[in-house]
Amino acid sequence: MSTRETSTADDPVIDSFDQLIAPMALGEKPEAAWRIGTEHEKLVFRTADHRAPTYDEPGGIRDLLLGLQEFGWSPVEEGGKVIAMRGADGTVSLEPAGQLELSGAPLENLHQTCAETGRHLAQVKAVGERLGLGFLGLGMWPDKRRDELPVMPKGRYEIMRHHMPRVGSLGLDMMLRTCTIQVNLDYSSEADMVRKFRVGLALQPLATALFANSPFTEGQPNGFLSFRSHIWSDTDPQRTGMLPFVFEDGFGYQRWADYILDVPMYFVFRDGRYIDAAGLSFRDFLDGRLAVLPGERPRQSDWWDHLSTAFPEVRLKSFLEMRGADGGPWSRICALPAFWVGLLYDQQALDAAWDLVKDWSMEERETLRSSVPRHALDARVPDGRSLGEFAREVMAIARAGLTARNRLNASGDNETGFLETLDEIVASGRPPAQVLLDRYAGEWQGDIAQVYRDAF
């Protein structure tokens, strides 16, 4: 989630629908200006006892953040607490239970993206070693109960934590126990956004299957390969899902704004604090009828905040966010943007990917989405093939897209090498979660603590 520092009282008040679609329209960029923004979260643990550290304890999450100052990062505070660090590589911030996230800078190519990831991991590991902290690249805590996890001092998270049980049974698990990798991508026009959104949404279950990496809950196999993905099915139906309207005629910025208006609010940020507006209507806010701020109408920054509180499989702000993947180690952090850039940043690849999915019905898309958390690459696509078989075709398109981009590093290599981790998964038919389950049943002899030996 985004990090706010101060209220902006000089924001324009929203008095027209054009202001609601402005963030999306302003995201349009010529192809030469398209960038890649990669976000990745990791679990933080005490190396001595595998405990999740609290914010305030000596050598805890606050000290981890502040330790990054030696690498040129600057603190961001909320209510006198350091909640993030800003630097040349983007923002390092806290998820609700202390999961550490890098929201990377917008970069031109995948070579830069993977170098950024490497710098970040090297920095947090250096600080972590001094503090006795380690990092896990998984989609979910493999052994922690909710009540064993700390809560970070961020106002929006406190509001969400109280609201989540009202709208779903797994929302607190989403907040406290999960980690993801995301990639943020650009578009040139409304029509380009629509095509990319549709391809991204239809193929999001494949990304979930390839990156499935959350097979354990509280020390035991949970029956899923991506329990993180399953969690989203019972978090909050009004702000999650596969969004059938995206595939309907006439979809565009206006229809997206209408959808976001109907997503219930979480909060309003005023004077450095978050005001609880959970469950209230942004439409009422537009009319000056928001119960917690009677007579006041929203500012542009309020709309930007609200855009960040919908959690579908693909999300539109001033760029498109691909949201389906579990957290993982360095190689898979680099592989996710490679997968999506290959499919969406070359026109021939984008057209070929759309041809694969354009005839799927909404029921077929939903069926695939619901089967992937348990079955991953063994789920079936509408033509009856396994998702693993289908993946070979998609991977070939992604590889062709990256080849056509021809973004080279200093050694003359293009970006296709970043797909090798996914090629291995497709060739074996075994997503990361299955590898973990095999090790749990074999060499680990049912001891989930062994997972910590494979930390970053």
Express each pLDDT in 141-153 by its tens digit.
999 999 999 999 9
d(CA 382, CA 203): 12
Q: What local confidence, expressed as pLDDT, does residue 306 receive?
A: 98
Express each pLDDT in 163-178 by its tens digit.
999 999 999 999 999 9
pLDDT at 5 over 50: no
Axis crossing angle, helix 330-344 with helix 190-210, rounded to the nearest 10: 140
Q: What local confidence, expressed as pLDDT, does residue 173 receive?
A: 98
Q: Residue 77 pairs with which residues in a beta bridge?
A: 82
Express each pLDDT in 309-349 by its tens digit.
999 999 999 999 999 999 999 999 999 999 999 999 999 99
- Tell me what the mean pLDDT of segment 394-418 comes to: 98
3-state secondary structure the chain: CCCCCCCCCCCCECCCHHHHHHHHHHCECCHHHCCEEEEEEEEEEECCCCCCCCCCCCCCHHHHHHHHHHHCCEEEEECCEEEEEEECCEEEEECCCCCEEEEECCECCHHHHHHHHHHHHHHHHHHHHHHCEEEECCCECCCCCHHHCCCCCCHHHHHHHHHHHHHCCCHHHHHHHECEEEEEECECCHHHHHHHHHHHHHHHHHHHHHCCCECEECCEECCCCEHHHHHHHHCCCCCCCCCHHHHCCCCCHHHHHHHHHHCCCCEEEECCEEEECCCCCHHHHHCCCCCCCCCCCCEHHHHHHHHCCCCCCEEECCCEEEEEEECCCHHHHHHHHHHHHHHHCCHHHHHHHHHHHCCCCHHHHHHHHHHHHHHHHHCECCCCCEHHHHHHHHHHHHHHHHHHHCCCCCCCCCHHHHHHHHHHHHHHCCCHHHHHHHHHHCCCCCCHHHHHHHCC
Nearest-Å Rg of the Cα atoms of the chain is 21
| High-pLDDT (> 70) share of the chain, % | 98
pLDDT at 9 over 90: no
Task: Report yes or no: 238 and 263 within 8 Å, Cβ to Cβ.
Answer: yes
Q: Which domains can be identified in the chain, with CATH numbers?
A: 17-454 (3.30.590.20)
- pTM greater than the 0.85 cutoff: yes
Band of the pLDDT at 6, cuts 50, 70, 90?
A: very low
Q: What is the mean pLDDT of the chain?
A: 96
Axis crossing angle, helix 347-357 with helix 190-210, rounded to the nearest 10: 70
d(CA 260, CA 378): 34
- Closest to 293 (Cα-Cα) out of 328, 267, 320: 267
Q: What local confidence, expressed as pLDDT, does residue 414 receive?
A: 98
d(CA 294, CA 273): 17
Taking residue 306's Cβ as centre, other Cβ atoms within 10 Å add up to: 22
- Closest to 199 (Cα-Cα) out of 397, 361, 354: 354
Band of the pLDDT at 11, cuts 50, 70, 90?
A: confident
d(CA 196, CA 438): 36
d(CA 193, CA 195): 6
Q: What local confidence, expressed as pLDDT, does residue 3 receive?
A: 52
- Closest to 44 (Cα-Cα) out of 195, 213, 177: 177
d(CA 137, CA 190): 35
Taking residue 183's Cβ as centre, other Cβ atoms within 10 Å add up to: 27
Q: What local confidence, expressed as pLDDT, does residue 10 receive?
A: 75
Retrieve residue 31's tokens: 């192809």
Q: Residue 329 pairs with which residues in a beta bridge?
A: none
Retrieve residue 74's tokens: 């600057």
Band of the pLDDT at 7, cuts 50, 70, 90?
A: very low
Taking residue 364's Cβ as centre, other Cβ atoms within 10 Å add up to: 16
d(CA 434, CA 368): 19
- Ramachandran quadrant class, 188 (left: phi over 0; alpha: psi -120 to 50; beta: rest): alpha
Produce one character per residue of 309-325: b if its CB has 16 or more CB atoms within 10 Å, e if not: bbbbbbbbbbbbbbbbb
Residue type, 120: H
Taking residue 427's Cβ as centre, other Cβ atoms within 10 Å add up to: 12
